[in-house]
Amino acid sequence: MDFAATTTRSNTPRHTPITRRLVAAVGGLFVLGVLVAVVALFNIARQLDAQDVRKNFFYTERAVENRITASKNYITSYTYWTTAYEHLNGEVDVQWAYADQNMGKTLFTNDGYEGVFVIDRERTKYAVVRGQHQQTDARAHMDMPLEPLVDQLQAQADLTAPAVRYTLFEGWPAIVTASVILPNDERPRVAPQGTSVLVFVDQLTHVKLRALGQNYGLTDLHLVKDSELAPGQPAVPLDSTGYSLVSRLERPGQHLLWSLLPPLGGALLILALLTAYFFRYALRTARQVDASYDSLERSTQALEASEERFRAVAEAASDWIWEIDGEGHITYLSGRFGTVTGFSDRQWLGQDIEQLLYCDTTPIALWLGTLTQEQSASNLRCSYRDHSGQLRFCRVSARPIIDKAAVVGYRGTASDITDEVAAHAQVQHLSLHDALTGLPNRNKLARYLDDALLAKEHAPPLTLLMVDLDNFKPINDSLGHPAGDAVLLEVAQRLRDCTREQDLVARLGGDEFVVVLSGMEHTTEIDRFCERLIGSLQQPIHYETHSLHIGASIGIAVSRRQGHVPGELIRCADIALYQAKSEGKRTWCYFASQMNDQIQHRRQLESDLRQAVRQHEFVLHFQPRYTVDGRDIVAVEALVRWQHPTQGLLGPDAFIPLAEQTDLIVPLSNWVLREACETALSWPGELMVSVNLSPAQFERSDVVEDVRRVLIETRFPASRLELEITENVMLNDVDGALHTMNALKELGVRLNMDDFGTGYSSLGYLRTYPFDGIKIDKRFIASMSNSSNDRAVVQAIINLGKAMGLTVTAEGVETLAQLGSLGSDQCHEVQGYFLSRPIDKQAFAHLLQDRQALSKTGS
Ligand code: C2E
Ligand code: MG
Ligand code: MG
């Protein structure tokens, strides 16, 4: 309660230090000042930019106006001229105008007029376009009607005044200046309708505009379509041409901002940091003052809390206090005694303390006698039965009572530790038992064996059985850990049921159990026990809707023969178990000394193989399969070899069985499959590749998924892959194998039954399973020539296979005679040393190349 109160109070701000307020105020002012300065700066920049816009517009307007004025003046010098009037009115004198260069090419080359025309209302009488005299109509070049222009000029009061228009000249904006051609002498006033009109066209090209802009301090004066004008851009429109004149804005305001803001920002940052540093320092000092107040207050609170706590502990204490005299009779018991033990103190006063308390390691009187005056109280664990008869434990502490330098009695406390002892016992139990099954674990087994073998030869004979479950891992993997746990619990129960009270059943971990049989002398007895045990474990285990089948292999060591060292017994049983497993599971095996070497060798090989799988120490050899006439290769079988670091190239028989007994078959097979597909991709054409699958793969992994993954990852077409499966696959799990093979077929691969005739399978199997072909085992082919009976068997298999629509291959063809017989028996395909031995990747690539070259020269 106190603690809670303290916490709440410390959360409430009791002091609101002035320094913090000051920091807030000055910080606020600082931020405000910065804001005002930034706003002012932006205002100035905006005004500067607005001024720039106005100036830009003004000068653009000025530039174009002045160009027009200049053009007007210039045209007047041509039109208000008697000689011109005489040569241009009526029919134009081209010789005078163009050839004599009075109104010819120089108007373009020197004065920059793209068009010079003499027109009247009806026609164009004279035309010079870009300095060239042309017979052309001015209307064809300009995007404006000329009649209204002529009418306007001829109708105006001052005939000498020129007119100006904007138009598109050949698609690009231009200034058109036009004026009536008049004599400037004293002749009587000419009739306006009869006069010709001179037209100058000044196209506003980029070059001209840039030069014009430069004269007025405008950067990049140019034309922009009205539809493409940026909003707010100052532009001088050129009437109906759809274009406006614009030049680049200098934007002095923005320049100012860009040049001022970074240094200003930097300066503000430094200022802010300095201010922050200063106020931090000030704050720390202020906090120290606050803290001193706080700590004072906390000390007071701690004191109060400690008193409270003491009282609470005192009330809750389970200790009781006792005193005895020199004879060990109880002279005093505190009030708590009654509460804890259920007795009244009067029942015990005057009684010997050893009647009440019991210590299993020493008599209490002896222990008390060892205590000295100087010694601080020491503890002894005692037990007693309380009023209700329940066994309780207490920790007793004692000191001698000294009177006139003599010990006249003892005094001490007794603390109840019943719960502590129970918890300790629980921990002990856990450390010696398996948490899942409750069976003794490895520690307990070790202790048990230590005790049981202590008497060595005099001890009763011990038989140690190492039990390993077959088929447990797939259950755990496929149905999950709850299923695995259920199986282990059931197995533990069955093991208990099979054993007697004096035997021990322990779980070492995973699916490994140990049974220690005590006093069983004869092998026949042990055999009978093993038979019963395996039989019991073979019974299906029901889990949810599943009926799970497991089995067990047992390795046996016997103390009379393998000695009385627990570790050695376990080791021997383990070796025997290894042997039992390699003998085909669901069996038991006694340890024999020669197993040591075998096991050693196997273990070494297994560890080498494990490393080989990791480091891909394998290579594939390839053996082609031919049509029975021996001409065409129809498929190529991939056969694995192990490039052993010390033993050289090992054939599959040396390591596939071992890989099958361990989980190594799965990664090895996947490597073979991938390597075969990748190699086959490099061959020309669509040659089929054949890969052997092991029955063990069907049990240990999801073959369909493995094949699918490799096909997808290598992009090898399934139709070029053939899988060779032996009959043994079907022996283990008929339904499961059928299901898997159907799923494999659905991937699009071919299935061949390998080594046909060696297993138990009848031809009937072939009907049920989705095979595409069979390979007659090489043993039949080898004996074909010796015995007519074997020849007949081969013939029968060929005929039957063909009748079922299967491709029939004969393996192991070693002679021309065999090939001949198979040809006359109309076997489909053949494979064997006679045609080609298995060869490595490079040699096979050469073989393919040679055949290709041969077939080309042949054709
Ligand atoms: P298999 O699938 O029946 O392969 C044919 C075996 O017969 C090969 O032996 C091959 O070299 C041999 N052979 C071929 N033609 C002749 C011949 O004319 N005369 C004689 N005497 N033998 C011939 P290899 O390569 O030693 O393979 C033995 C077995 O190992 C294979 O029998 C196959 O079951 C297994 N195997 C090979 N590679 C793999 C693999 O990658 N995975 C699996 N699971 N098993 C494989
Ligand atoms: Mg094969
Ligand atoms: Mg074969």
Contacts of 583 (CB under 8 A, 6+ apart): 589
Residue nearest to atom 41 of ligand 1 (CA): 640
Distance (angstroms) between ligand 2 centre and the Cα of 723 equals 8
Q: Does 296 have pLDDT greater than 70?
A: no
Is 656 touching ligand 1 by the criterion CB < 6 Å?
A: yes
CA 584 to chain centroid, in Å, comes to 41
Q: Tokens representing 710?
A: 């490799």
Spatial contact of 489 and 439, defined as CB atoms under 8 Å apart: no
User: How far is the C-alpha of 123 from the C-alpha of 135, rounded, in Å?
Assistant: 11
CB atoms within 10 A of CB 511: 21
For residue 823, being part of any structural domain is answered with yes
Q: Does 12 have pLDDT greater than 90?
A: no
User: How much is the pLDDT for 56?
Assistant: 86
Is 832 touching ligand 1 by the criterion CB < 6 Å?
A: yes
Question: Residue 641 forms beta bridges with which residues?
Answer: 619
> Could you tell me which of 67, 86, 32, 344 has the C-alpha nearest to residue 203?
67
Residue nearest to atom 3 of ligand 1 (CA): 755
437 and 403 within one domain: no
What confidence tier does 300 reach under pLDDT thresholds 50, 70, 90?
very low
Distance (angstroms) between ligand 2 centre and the Cα of 754 equals 5
Q: Does 8 have pLDDT greater than 60?
A: no
Q: Tokens representing 841?
A: 């990747």
Q: Tokens representing 597?
A: 């070497």
Q: Tokens representing 653?
A: 């028989």
Strands 688-692 and 633-644 come out as: parallel
Q: Does 367 have pLDDT greater than 60?
A: yes
Q: What is the DSSP string of 474-535?
A: HHHHHH-HHHHHHHHHHHHHHHHHHS-TTSEEEEEETTEEEEEEES---HHHHHHHHHHHHH
478 and 457 within one domain: yes
Is 778 touching ligand 1 by the criterion CB < 6 Å?
A: yes
Distance (angstroms) between ligand 3 centre and the Cα of 642 equals 19
User: How far is the C-alpha of 691 from the C-alpha of 620, rounded, in Å?
Assistant: 10
For residue 826, being part of any structural domain is answered with yes
Q: Does 410 have pLDDT greater than 70?
A: yes
329 and 366 within one domain: yes
Q: Looking at residues 377-382, what average pLDDT do you find?
A: 81
Is 812 touching ligand 1 by the criterion CB < 6 Å?
A: yes
Residue nearest to atom 20 of ligand 1 (CA): 812
User: How much is the pLDDT for 292?
Assistant: 45
Q: Does 680 have pLDDT greater than 90?
A: yes
User: How much is the pLDDT for 86?
Assistant: 87
Distance (angstroms) between ligand 2 centre and the Cα of 641 equals 13
Is 672 touching ligand 1 by the criterion CB < 6 Å?
A: yes
Identify the weakest region by mean pLDDT among 228-232, 433-437, 669-673, 684-688: 228-232
Distance (angstroms) between ligand 2 centre and the Cα of 787 equals 25
Most informative mutation of 641, 692, 754, 836 for ligand 1 (most atoms within 8 A of CB): 692
Spatial contact of 644 and 615, defined as CB atoms under 8 Å apart: no
514 and 623 within one domain: no
DSSP state of 101: T
Ligand 2 ion: Cβ-proximal residues, 5 Å cutoff: 692, 724, 754
Torsion of CA 422, 425, 427, 431, to 10 degrees: -170
834 and 706 within one domain: yes
Spatial contact of 805 and 774, defined as CB atoms under 8 Å apart: no
What confidence tier does 287 reach under pLDDT thresholds 50, 70, 90?
low
Q: Which ligand 1 atom minimizes the distance to the CA of 724?
A: 2
Q: Does 118 have pLDDT greater than 80?
A: yes
pLDDT in tens, 555-585: 999 998 888 889 889 999 999 998 898 887 7
User: How much is the pLDDT for 6?
Assistant: 36
Is 833 touching ligand 1 by the criterion CB < 6 Å?
A: yes
User: How much is the pLDDT for 303?
Assistant: 53
State the distance between the two ends of the chain, measured CA to CA, in whole angstroms.
105
For residue 793, being part of any structural domain is answered with yes
User: How much is the pLDDT for 687?
Assistant: 95
Distance (angstroms) between ligand 2 centre and the Cα of 637 equals 7
Q: Does 734 have pLDDT greater than 80?
A: no
Is 774 touching ligand 1 by the criterion CB < 6 Å?
A: no
H-type helices in 317-392, by residue range? 335-341, 345-348, 353-356, 364-369
- Total residues belonging to the chain: 859
pLDDT in tens, 131-143: 999 999 999 899 8
Please say which residue of 397, 429, 461 terminates a domain. 429
Spatial contact of 257 and 41, defined as CB atoms under 8 Å apart: yes
Distance (angstroms) between ligand 2 centre and the Cα of 807 equals 15
Helix (H), strand (E) at residue 641: strand 633-644
Helix (H), strand (E) at residue 331: strand 330-333
Spatial contact of 616 and 581, defined as CB atoms under 8 Å apart: no
DSSP state of 433: B
Structural domain count of the chain: 3
Q: Looking at residues 542-565, what average pLDDT do you find?
A: 90
**Three-state SS sequence of 787-849:** CHHHHHHHHHHHHHHHHCCCEEEECCCCCHHHHHHHHHCCCCEECCCCCCCCEEHHHHHHHHH
Please say which residue of 546, 561, 593 terminates a domain. 593
Is 740 touching ligand 1 by the criterion CB < 6 Å?
A: no
For residue 525, being part of any structural domain is answered with yes
Helix (H), strand (E) at residue 745: helix 734-747
CATH number at residue 647: 3.20.20.450
Distance (angstroms) between ligand 1 centre and the Cα of 639 equals 6
What confidence tier does 21 reach under pLDDT thresholds 50, 70, 90?
low
Is 623 touching ligand 1 by the criterion CB < 6 Å?
A: yes
pLDDT, greater one: 540 or 735: 540
User: How far is the C-alpha of 756 from the C-alpha of 762, rounded, in Å?
Assistant: 10
Q: Looking at residues 678-706, what average pLDDT do you find?
A: 92
pLDDT in tens, 768-807: 889 999 999 998 899 887 777 778 889 988 998 898 899 9
For residue 36, being part of any structural domain is answered with no
Is 772 touching ligand 1 by the criterion CB < 6 Å?
A: no
| Collapsed DSSP state (helix, strand, coil) of residue 14 | coil
439 and 420 within one domain: no
751 and 638 within one domain: yes
User: How far is the C-alpha of 491 from the C-alpha of 507, rounded, in Å?
Assistant: 10
Is 755 touching ligand 1 by the criterion CB < 6 Å?
A: yes
528 and 440 within one domain: yes
Distance (angstroms) between ligand 1 centre and the Cα of 653 equals 8
Spatial contact of 675 and 669, defined as CB atoms under 8 Å apart: no
CA 544 to chain centroid, in Å, comes to 35
What confidence tier does 485 reach under pLDDT thresholds 50, 70, 90?
very high
425 and 438 within one domain: no
Q: Which ligand 1 atom minimizes the distance to the CA of 639?
A: 38
Q: Looking at residues 505-511, what average pLDDT do you find?
A: 92
Could you tell me the CA-to-CA distances from 27 to 17, 39, 436 in Å, in that order? 16, 18, 66
pLDDT in tens, 421-471: 888 888 778 878 988 999 999 889 999 999 998 877 788 899 999 999 988
**Residue 852 belongs to domain spanning:** 616-858
Is 781 touching ligand 1 by the criterion CB < 6 Å?
A: no
623 and 507 within one domain: no
| Phi, psi angles (nearest 5°) of residue 173 | -55, 140
Contacts of 722 (CB under 8 A, 6+ apart): 635, 688, 689, 690, 691, 749, 750, 751, 752, 772
User: How much is the pLDDT for 856?
Assistant: 75
Residue nearest to atom 15 of ligand 1 (CA): 832
For residue 560, being part of any structural domain is answered with yes
744 and 629 within one domain: yes
Distance (angstroms) between ligand 3 centre and the Cα of 579 equals 27
Angle at 421 between CA 418 and CA 343, to 5 degrees: 20
Q: Looking at residues 505-513, what average pLDDT do you find?
A: 93
pLDDT in tens, 69-110: 888 888 988 888 888 888 888 888 999 999 888 889 899 988
Contacts of 826 (CB under 8 A, 6+ apart): 628, 798, 802
Distance (angstroms) between ligand 1 centre and the Cα of 831 equals 11
Q: Looking at residues 664-682, what average pLDDT do you find?
A: 96
User: How far is the C-alpha of 575 from the C-alpha of 514, rounded, in Å?
Assistant: 14
Spatial contact of 618 and 641, defined as CB atoms under 8 Å apart: yes
User: How much is the pLDDT for 313?
Assistant: 45
Contacts of 505 (CB under 8 A, 6+ apart): 439, 440, 492, 495, 496, 499, 513, 514, 515, 516
CATH number at residue 569: 3.30.70.270
Please say which residue of 593, 627, 653 terminates a domain. 593
- Mean residue pLDDT of the chain comes to 86
Q: Tokens representing 348?
A: 């015990």
Is 694 touching ligand 1 by the criterion CB < 6 Å?
A: yes
Q: Tokens representing 168?
A: 């598109």
808 and 795 within one domain: yes
Q: Looking at residues 310-315, what average pLDDT do you find?
A: 42
Is 652 touching ligand 1 by the criterion CB < 6 Å?
A: yes
CATH number at residue 364: 3.30.450.20
Q: Looking at residues 468-481, what average pLDDT do you find?
A: 84
| Phi, psi angles (nearest 5°) of residue 465 | -110, 120
Q: Which ligand 1 atom minimizes the distance to the CA of 660?
A: 44
User: How much is the pLDDT for 558?
Assistant: 94
Is 697 touching ligand 1 by the criterion CB < 6 Å?
A: no
Distance (angstroms) between ligand 1 centre and the Cα of 778 equals 10
Residue nearest to atom 27 of ligand 1 (CA): 652
Q: CA-based Rg of the chain, rounded to a whole angstrom?
A: 56
User: How much is the pLDDT for 760?
Assistant: 53
Is 714 touching ligand 1 by the criterion CB < 6 Å?
A: no
> Could you tell me which of 617, 616, 622, 618 has the C-alpha nearest to residue 840?
622
Q: Which ligand 1 atom minimizes the distance to the CA of 669?
A: 42
User: How much is the pLDDT for 214?
Assistant: 87
What confidence tier does 311 reach under pLDDT thresholds 50, 70, 90?
very low
pLDDT in tens, 181-233: 988 876 666 777 778 899 999 999 999 998 888 888 888 899 999 888 888 88
| Phi, psi angles (nearest 5°) of residue 227 | -70, -15
Q: Which ligand 1 atom minimizes the distance to the CA of 623?
A: 14
Instruction: Show the beta-strand stretches assigned E in 386-433.
Output: 391-403, 406-416
User: How far is the C-alpha of 795 from the C-alpha of 822, rounded, in Å?
Assistant: 8
Choose from 13-27, 239-253, 597-611, 810-824 the range with maximum mean pLDDT.
810-824
Residue nearest to atom 19 of ligand 1 (CA): 812
User: How far is the C-alpha of 208 from the C-alpha of 221, rounded, in Å?
Assistant: 9
For residue 31, being part of any structural domain is answered with no
Identify the nearest ligand to the CA of 779 by its number.
Answer: 1
- Token look-up 């001015």 returns 138
- Token look-up 């070899």 returns 641
User: How much is the pLDDT for 830?
Assistant: 97
Spatial contact of 724 and 692, defined as CB atoms under 8 Å apart: yes
**What single letter denotes the amino acid at residue 220?**
D
Is 757 touching ligand 1 by the criterion CB < 6 Å?
A: no
DSSP state of 96: I
Q: Looking at residues 830-834, what average pLDDT do you find?
A: 97
> Could you tell me which of 724, 721, 698 has the C-alpha nearest to residue 711?
721
Distance (angstroms) between ligand 3 centre and the Cα of 499 equals 47
For residue 680, being part of any structural domain is answered with yes
